């Protein structure tokens, strides 16, 4: 879509210099690779009253990752570090929500408490986790990786404590909606959750000065302070947002399986979220950021996973393929490679122009 509009208005060179060009190319490349083995990869049908197809799976399954990537982008931009506790915070939020809804039972078929109460409590707990991370990083100046390592390690323990070490099941249709479909709507509900988060984040960043402040603090926290920005507060806020969004992602993930599986909800998702930020062309050292890039990165990761399923790659080789593709994408986007590619392009254009000149002289 962006390509066609770009082509009509800008030159190809301008297009390739757009910040989002490479992430988009990578996503498209991953998706198109499916046509070799699965020609109907892009086919979307209505099956059983809902949208059905690989593309829908990609968009649906990436929802949690998109939500996390938004938070991770802000944290990365402001503090130049990553929040590795988001996966564990997801588990905590899921545990709190399920435990409240089940009223302490291992499995329940009726809500023991109102749904809204569980959601609010889960989000508050997740936000508190974000506050803790933010306090450690912003106020105590602890390195983000180290500060968030605390909840990364303890989070699942806390979730286990909340659920008494059991998997708590909430077998109520209303609880499953967020992870499946709104009644009568053919589009999977997690997509709406991701969309809502993205739109709200986008509006806040564009309509308020928060986005600009985050970039300023990320580029040079001390300089930002000298021009009157409270960099401590801004860093703190990004971690709070990240924690809150981890809570949202946790609720979606938990609704999908209508249970709180403290060991597995959001497992290793923090690494995927960081990868999404990197694949989106953002510097992990902080500063300027592009939210759209991270979101594209998140979809790329899920597209890769779904693609490997569609390719029928055997399970023991799955991580290897994933790693190889990620390495290729990262190299493709690295400054050194881009410089080299640019040089290659210049030489190619330089030779024919020189020949043309020579011809003119004669």
The nearer residue to another protein, 320 or 344, going by C-beta atoms, is: 320
> Which one of 32, 35, 106, 324 is in contact with another protein (CB under 8 A)?
106
> Which one of 314, 347, 358, 359 is in contact with another protein (CB under 8 A)?
314
Residue 162 contacts another protein per CB under 8 A: yes
Q: Which residues contact 250 (CB under 8 A, 6 or more apart)?
A: 89, 90, 91, 92, 93, 94, 97, 122, 126, 265, 266
Site string for another protein, 117-146 (x = CB under 8 A): ----x---x--x--xx--x---x-------
Q: Which residues contact 307 (CB under 8 A, 6 or more apart)?
A: 30, 31, 33, 34
Nearest CA to 23 among 255, 324, 298, 222? 298
CA torsion sign for 340, 343, 348, 351 is negative
The nearer residue to another protein, 187 or 283, going by C-beta atoms, is: 187
Residues contacting another protein: total by CB under 8 A? 55
**CA atoms of 80 and 215, how far apart (whole Å):** 10
Residue 306 contacts another protein per CB under 8 A: yes
The nearer residue to another protein, 78 or 201, going by C-beta atoms, is: 78
Helix H or strand E segment including 51: strand 50-52
- Give DSSP secondary structure letters for 16-38: HHSTTHHHHHHHHHHHHTHHHH-
Range 276-295, binding another protein (CB under 8 A): none
Angle between helices 189-207 and 210-219 in degrees, nearest 10: 80
Site string for another protein, 35-54 (x = CB under 8 A): ---x--------xxxx-xxx
Q: Site residues (CB under 8 A) for another protein?
A: 38, 47-50, 52-54, 57, 61, 96, 99-100, 103-107, 112, 121, 125, 128, 131-132, 135, 139, 157-158, 160-162, 164-167, 169, 180, 253, 256-257, 259, 261, 263-265, 267, 305-306, 309-310, 312, 314-316, 318
């Amino acid at each position: 879509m962006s390509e066609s509009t770009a082509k009509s208005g800008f030159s190809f060179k301008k297009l390739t210099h757009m910040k989002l060009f490479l992430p988009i190319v990578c996503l498209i490349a991953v998706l198109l690779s499916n046509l070799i083995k699965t020609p109907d990869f892009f086919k979307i049908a209505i099956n059983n009253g809902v949208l059905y197809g690989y593309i829908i799976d990609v968009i649906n399954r990436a929802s949690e990752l998109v939500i996390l990537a938004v938070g991770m982008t802000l944290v990365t931009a402001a503090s130049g570090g990553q929040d590795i506790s988001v996966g564990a915070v997801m588990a905590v939020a899921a545990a709190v929500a399920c435990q409240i809804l089940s009223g302490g039972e291992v499995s329940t078929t009726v809500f023991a408490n109102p749904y809204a109460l569980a959601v609010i409590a889960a989000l508050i707990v997740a936000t508190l986790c974000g506050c803790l991370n933010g306090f450690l990083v912003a106020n105590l100046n602890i390195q983000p990786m180290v500060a968030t390592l605390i909840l990364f390690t303890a989070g699942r323990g806390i979730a286990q404590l909340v659920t008494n070490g059991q998997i708590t099941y909430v077998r109520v249709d209303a609880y499953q909606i967020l992870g499946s479909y709104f009644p009568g709507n053919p589009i999977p509900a997690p997509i709406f959750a991701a969309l809502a988060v993205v739109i709200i984040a986008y509006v806040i960043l564009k309509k308020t000065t928060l986005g600009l402040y985050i970039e300023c603090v990320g580029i040079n926290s001390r300089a930002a302070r000298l021009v009157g920005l409270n960099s401590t507060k801004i860093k703190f806020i990004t971690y709070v947002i990240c924690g809150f969004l981890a809570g949202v992602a946790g609720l979606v993930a938990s609704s999908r399986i209508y249970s709180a599986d403290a060991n597995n909800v959001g497992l290793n998702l923090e690494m995927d979220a960081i990868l999404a930020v990197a694949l989106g062309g953002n510097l992990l050292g902080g500063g300027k950021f592009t939210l759209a890039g991270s979101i594209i990165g998140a979809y790329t990761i899920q597209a890769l996973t779904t693609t490997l399923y569609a390719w029928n790659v055997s399970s023991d080789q799955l991580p290897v393929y994933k790693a190889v593709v990620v390495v290729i994408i990262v190299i493709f986007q690295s400054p050194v490679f881009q410089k080299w590619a640019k040089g290659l392009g210049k030489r190619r254009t330089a030779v024919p122009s020189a020949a043309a000149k020579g011809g003119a002289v004669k």
